[in-house]
Structure 1
Amino acid sequence: MTAPYVRGRDRLWFARSRRYTIFVLRELTSVFVAWTVAFLLLMIAALTGGGYAGFVALAGQPWMIAVNVVALAATCFHAITFLNLAPKATVVRLDGWRVPAWMIQGGNHSAWLLVSAVVAYVVLRSP
């Protein structure tokens, strides 16, 4: 008796389509989003616990700066691709008229830009 044929798995199945590649990259960037949240929580703990000098020393290490730059790029990619998917998940109707996808995307990106500008103003303003 012979064993049944088992088709081999293609480990790069997502690389065959641009949509699948972007999907997998967006899912992988979730790790960097989680790192960003953990890093911010560590910073808040250092601010409230009195260990801010040690945190600044750690955050100033070249490898930590490199990790955070990569995390920033990955988080931006994650946010942009996530906001671009909103029109597919959200159907907005006004008096029977469906709001076009570009308006939903534009609103999402504008809100993101506005919130980022407010946060940058609060963080970067002179004391």
Structure 2
Amino acid sequence: MSGPSLYTLHHPRWYRRRVSVWWWLEKRSYTVFVLRELTSVFVALFALVTLWQIRSVAAGAEAHARFMARLATPASVVFHIVALVFLLFHSITWFNLAPKAMAVRLRGKRVPDAVVAGSNYAAWIVLSAAVVYILLRR
């Protein structure tokens, strides 16, 4: 055997079909995939805002009041509405993928996809209700 083959410009092994930048618009499933990946940016930004809020609470009442005043600006409200839409899209598509990502078996039989997704949605609703209850009881 000879050593590793060298690259030649027109070698058929290295042929790659050109792919458009807009490849993800060809099929709905590709578009949903790319949009779900882009929602991660909003998840990260929302996490940063939450961390800044925790920092403002730790800094005292005056710092927290300034932070809350900043959140009341129109730009912040628009950002949070857009982030909410993207976070809901992210959560819903993630929960719909859960049955495909994990094969849950009970007594040797696979649990139906609807049961796995439904249990995720039920847990989401229960935890959201618990958070609302904790935040609204004063």
1:15 counterpart residue number: 25
- 2: distance between equivalents of 1:8 and 1:64? 41
1:47 Cα deviation after fit: 0.7
- 1: distance between equivalents of 2:101 and 2:16? 37
Corresponding letter in the other structure for 2:42? F
1:118 counterpart residue number: 130
- 2: distance between equivalents of 1:17 and 1:87? 22
Runs of 4+ in 1 over 3 A off after TM superposition: 3-9
Corresponding letter in the other structure for 1:102? A
2:108 to 83, 96, 108: 96
Corresponding letter in the other structure for 1:14? W
Corresponding letter in the other structure for 1:37? A
1:25 to 26, 30, 35: 35
- 1: distance between equivalents of 2:16 and 2:68? 54
Matched-pair identity in %: 44
Larger radius of gyration: 2
Q: Which has the higher contact order (CA 8 A, sep 6+)?
A: 1
Equivalent runs, 1:1-127 vs 2, <5 Å:
8-50=18-60, 51-125=63-137, 127=138
TM-score (ref. length: structure 2) = 0.84
2:5 counterpart residue number: none
Count of residue pairs brought into register by the alignment: 124
3-state SS, counterpart of residue 29 of structure 1: helix
Q: Which runs of 5+ in 1 are unaligned?
A: none
1:9 Cα deviation after fit: 3.6
* Residue range with higher mean Cα deviation, 71-80 or 3-12: 3-12
